[in-house]
Amino acid sequence: MIFSRFSSAGRFFLRAKIFFCLSWCFCQGGLDPKQFAETITAKELKESLYVYASDYFQGRETGEIGQKRAIDFLQNFYSSIGIPPAEGTENYLQKMTLSTKGEKVESENVVAIIRGSKYPNEYIVISSHLDHIGIDKNGEINNGADDDGSGTVAMLELAEAFKIASDNGIPPKRSIIFLHVTGEEKGLLGSRYYTNNPIYPLSETMVNLNIDMIGRKDLIQENDNYIYLIGSNILSNDLHEISEEMNDKYVKINLDYRYNDPNTLVFENGRNIPNRYYFRSDHYNFAQKNIPVIFYFSGTHEDYHRPGDTPDKILYSIFEKRTKLVFYTAWELANRKNKIKLNK
């Protein structure tokens, strides 16, 4: 059995966290997102990632036993803190049959929702991919701590922060969908399935914030106080401006946009190639449906798609900071009066 703060013991700590946050808010004489963002901690990110990227999950390859264990882990998390499954799912699961390398594979997205208080039929989708590449031909497990264990456990912290706000009487005005997609490593298959078979109308889906590899530093940056943002202004300048505003106000991290140009070269597998990152993670299937997106990414590294992508190499302090940027952006999008506008 893997101990988790999402067990009955974990629920006790969540209640204590809620009490602390409520007491702190009362003493400050007001409520603002910073008080809930502070519940996102490097300690909890680390604790969760050491579980999710452990050998128990066998590299989380789509359709394999390790991926099924990852799905169980995510279901148990959302159930334990009281965030309900999306309507139309089977206990959080959006089931599908995927075709990969000529074979049919049964797999699932995991989908939870916090309903909006004022605009419940308008949606913010926060996504990451729950799968990785499994066990290699030498029998070594690719644990995928950064890819995309980092995005997955960041989403758990985000969900918990919004749940704490809701339990303090401040639910988001718009609904927030927490979408853990399968089959990303097989060709963005889980997100393609969702956007072709949406649980909630895409016409009322305002934005997708996609988190894929935000836990390390690449070989380009001089320090780790950065994040690559991809796609933020491609479909909506409003989204780009909100992201910049939230960063300037709360986080103050270097926002690097170099990979908005898909032809910017990146060194991978021993050679320089056009990055094409805008097309390479799950946000792209939302963008294809004309839904504004931000892809949060800290770049590739020497352990990309290798057994060395392990939790001990994650930079947890900056990981926390990057996760908070997503939180503040999602908070503003969920609670602002007007929906963001598409570029003309």
What's the pLDDT at 313? 98
Reply yes or no on whether the pLDDT at 38 is more than 80: yes
Quick one: pLDDT band at residue 269, thresholds 50, 70, 90?
A: confident
- Which H or E run contains 193? helix 189-196
Is-contact 115 162, C-beta < 8 A?
no
Structure-model confidence comparison of residues 103 and 282, the more confident one: 282
The DSSP code for 146 is I
Reply yes or no on whether the pLDDT at 113 is more than 80: yes
What's the pLDDT at 153? 98
State the Cα–Cα distance between residues 174 and 168, nearest whole angstrom. Answer: 17
> What are 174's strand-pairing partners?
119
What's the pLDDT at 14? 54
Reply yes or no on whether the pLDDT at 22 is more than 70: no
SS3 30: coil
State the Cα–Cα distance between residues 163 and 161, nearest whole angstrom. Answer: 5
What's the pLDDT at 19? 52
Structure-model confidence comparison of residues 130 and 31, the more confident one: 130
Output the six-digit token pair for 198: 């949406």
- H-type alpha helices, 268-315: 283-287
Going from the N-terminus, what domains does the chain have, and what CATH number goes with each?
A: 8-335 (3.40.630.10)
State the Cα–Cα distance between residues 317 and 15, nearest whole angstrom. Answer: 24
What's the pLDDT at 68? 97
- E strand map for the chain: 93-100, 103-114, 119-129, 174-181, 205-211, 226-230, 254-256, 265-268, 271-274, 293-297
Reply yes or no on whether the pLDDT at 28 is more than 90: no
Reply yes or no on whether the pLDDT at 296 is more than 80: yes
Is-contact 262 279, C-beta < 8 A?
yes
Reply yes or no on whether the pLDDT at 96 is more than 90: yes
Q: What percent of the chain has pLDDT over 90?
A: 87
pLDDT (mean) for 168-185: 97
Q: What percent of the chain has pLDDT over 70?
A: 91
> What are 294's strand-pairing partners?
209
Bridge pairing between strands 265-268 and 271-274: antiparallel
Output the six-digit token pair for 327: 């939180």
Give the mean pLDDT of the chain.
93
Give how far the C-alpha of residue 39 lies from the chain's centroid of Cα atoms, to the nearest Å. Answer: 16
